């Protein structure tokens, strides 16, 4: 029988990770001759939900298993409980692991649930309803939301290769040879991306904290990611690695936008006023009373918003968050400048002394502030030099789902790629890891 499995919420703030648990599980299945039908999938869901640990990731994979859905769900759940008790300590930190198993052929029926999970907040009850309709086996708590939703994934894909550390190293500082990351990135960009921050001269691939991930590399071709595993040098021997298909870098969170808190919004704004606040974040007030914030960390996007002016027209993409000061605030990740104010009316200069002038009221003329001369005249039009151009500005550090600008042609790129079978890639990974 063929089944699709979803897994979520197996991590904790101090240890473990859902992808790590899934890699252990997949290794177990493969060792026991239970066949994977495709690559496993690393699926990012709504990036704005407050109770995620890091990047709101869930895992989906499909297998051929000689038994019932219930038997499969029980086997996985027993391993889940072991992991959250003994590895991630998730239960102590109020994590709520979940597992979902459905018939493989029914995965497509969950597409709407998946889209909703990327775009909105889903109550657990709705997931229970879907699961009854579709005959899913669910185990666990809140994690069943991400688990069942991830199974419904369909759409453009990228790949991520994740490497894992041996347990005795989880508390040690990660050290990586930066020149090896740079060499890999330079050779394969843009088929690999988000590896190096060339402005801060730092690799972006390293995980932080005590979780088991050492680094993750992202790209369009699994064969190239394998080359990364060969080239990138770390100071410790890695324990495991896995390659996932993913919805990362595909802009799926913008397919179905909304206007409620914790949704992603796409809208337009006529700029009323901008204010740079302490720390360098920029507050943009729109004429329709929406308030946008552009954090300093967004780099070029933040610099661009500092130069916006009253009357400029932009489209923006951002996350709606609650705010004590503004009620709601929109954290922007991308803007498209549609129109820039590049001229304005100004009082004429004084014809006698060229001093600046003030208006005496409608049709009453002007008075020179310097020599007091009063005269009749018209306002003049002056050009405003702008340090901005029309078009897109995007945050320097991409959120997981945000499509980098250079991947605009993403959908087309897959039409000509020949993608290796999962097992060839899986065996290559393990040959590289365990050959020396
Ligand atoms: P890690 O990356 O280590 O797995 P994480 O940041 O992905 O951590 P999770 O541990 O997966 O965080 O926690 C996210 C929780 O939110 C899960 O329980 C998941 O089921 C739930 N969840 C995901 N998307 C939604 C949604 N749209 N609405 C409601 N709950 C959601």
Range with lowest mean pLDDT among 48-62, 111-125, 179-193, 416-430 = 416-430
Which residue reads 């599980």 in tokens?
Answer: 25
C-alpha distances in Å from residue 152, one per residue of 4, 108, 213, 383: 10, 6, 26, 53
Class of domain 2-151: alpha beta
Mean of pLDDT values over 64-89: 95
What confidence tier does 42 reach under pLDDT thresholds 50, 70, 90? very high
Q: Where are the alpha helices (DSSP H) in 18-136?
A: 18-31, 69-86, 111-119, 124-134
Q: Quick one: pLDDT at residue 249?
A: 94
- Kindly indicate whether the domain formed by 253-342+384-394 is annotated with CATH number 2.40.50.1010: yes
Query: What is the rounded (10 degree) CA torsion for 44, 50, 54, 58?
Result: -30
Could you tell me the pLDDT band of residue 416, with boundaries at 50, 70 and 90? very low
Band of residue 131 on the pLDDT scale cut at 50, 70, 90: very high
Does residue 131's CB lie within 6 angstroms of at least one atom of ligand 1?
no
Query: Cα separation of 247 and 260, whole Å?
Result: 23
Please say if the pLDDT value at position 316 is more than 50: yes
Ligand 1 close to Cβ of residue 18 (< 6 A): yes
Top-ranked range on mean pLDDT: pick from 44-58, 80-94, 96-110: 96-110
Residue 417 reports pLDDT greater than 80: no
pLDDT at position 410 is 57
Query: Chain-wide mean pLDDT for the chain?
Result: 93
Q: For residue 110, give the DSSP letter.
A: G
Cα gap 19→375, rounded to integer Å: 76
Instruction: Show me where the domains of the chain are located.
Output: 2-151, 158-250+409-435, 253-342+384-394, 343-382
Is there a contact between 327 and 277 (Cβ–Cβ < 8 Å)? no
Nearest-atom index, ligand 1, CA of 90: 10
**Centroid of ligand 1 to alpha carbon of 230 (angstroms):** 32
Mean pLDDT of 61-69: 96
What's the pLDDT band for 407 if we cut at 50, 70, 90? Answer: confident
Predicted pLDDT of residue 318:
96
Name the residue at shortest CA distance from atom 23 of ligand 1: 146
Q: Which residue has the higher pLDDT, 409 or 396?
A: 396
Give the model's pLDDT for residue 413: 53
Q: Which CATH class is domain 158-250+409-435?
A: alpha beta
Question: Quick one: how many helices (H) and strands (E) in the chain?
Answer: 10, 23
Model pLDDT for residues 25-34, shown as the tens digit of each residue: 999 999 999 9
Ligand 1 centroid to residue 117 C-alpha, Å: 10
Is 143 near ligand 1, meaning CB less than 6 Å away?
Answer: yes
Q: What one-character-per-residue DSSP string does 245-264 give?
A: EE-TTS-GGGTS--SSTTSE
Cα three-residue angle 259-264-266, rounded to 5 degrees: 75
Scan for tokens 């692991």, then name that residue: 97
Element at 412 (helix H, strand E): helix 410-416
215-259 pLDDT per residue, tens: 999 999 999 999 999 999 999 999 999 999 999 999 999 999 999
For the segment 346-403, what is each residue's pLDDT rounded down to a tens digit?
999 999 999 999 999 988 999 999 999 999 999 999 999 998 999 999 998 878 999 9
Spatial contact of 101 and 34, defined as CB atoms under 8 Å apart: no
């Amino acid at each position: 029988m063929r089944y699709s499995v979803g897994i979520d919420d197996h991590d904790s703030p101090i240890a473990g990770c859902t992808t790590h648990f899934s890699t252990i599980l997949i290794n177990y299945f493969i060792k026991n001759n239970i066949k994977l039908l495709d690559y496993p999938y690393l699926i990012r869901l709504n990036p704005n939900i407050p109770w995620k640990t890091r990047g709101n990731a869930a895992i989906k994979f499909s297998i051929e298993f000689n038994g019932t859905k219930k038997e499969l769900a029980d086997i996985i759940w027993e391993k889940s409980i072991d992991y959250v008790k003994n590895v991630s300590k998730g239960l102590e930190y109020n994590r709520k692991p979940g597992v979902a198993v459905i018939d493989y052929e029914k995965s497509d029926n969950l597409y709407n649930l998946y889209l909703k999970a990327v775009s909105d907040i889903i109550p657990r009850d709705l997931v229970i309803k879907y699961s009854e309709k579709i005959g899913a086996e669910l185990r666990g708590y809140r994690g069943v939301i991400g688990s069942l939703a991830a199974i419904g994934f369909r759409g453009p894909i990228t790949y991520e290769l994740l490497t894992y550390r041996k347990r005795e190293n989880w508390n040690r500082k990660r050290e990586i040879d930066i020149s090896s990351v740079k060499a890999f990135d330079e050779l394969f960009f843009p088929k690999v991306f988000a590896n190096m921050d060339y402005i801060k001269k730092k690799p972006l691939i390293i995980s932080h904290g005590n979780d088991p991930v050492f680094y993750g590399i992202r790209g369009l071709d699994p064969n190239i990611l394998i080359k990364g595993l060969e080239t990138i040098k770390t100071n410790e021997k890695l324990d495991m690695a896995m390659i996932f298909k993913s919805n990362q870098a595909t802009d799926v969170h913008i397919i179905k936008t909304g206007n409620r808190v914790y949704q992603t919004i796409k809208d337009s704004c006529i700029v009323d006023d901008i204010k740079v606040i302490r720390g360098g974040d920029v507050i943009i007030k729109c004429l329709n009373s929406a308030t946008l914030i552009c954090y300093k960390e967004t780099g070029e996007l933040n610099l661009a918003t500092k130069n916006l002016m009253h009357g400029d027209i932009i489209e923006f993409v951002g996350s709606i968050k609650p705010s004590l000061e503004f009620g709601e605030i929109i954290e922007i990740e991308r803007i498209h400048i549609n129109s820039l104010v590049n001229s304005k009316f100004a009082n004429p200069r004084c014809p006698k002394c060229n001093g600046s002038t003030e208006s005496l009221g409608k049709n009453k003329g002007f008075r020179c502030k310097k020599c007091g001369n009063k005269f009749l005249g018209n306002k003049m039009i002056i050009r405003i030099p702008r340090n901005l151009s029309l078009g897109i500005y995007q945050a320097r550090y991409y959120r997981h789902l945000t499509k980098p600008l250079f991947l605009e042609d993403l959908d087309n790129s897959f039409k000509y790629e020949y993608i290796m079978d999962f097992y060839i890639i899986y065996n290559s990974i393990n040959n590289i890891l365990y050959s020396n």
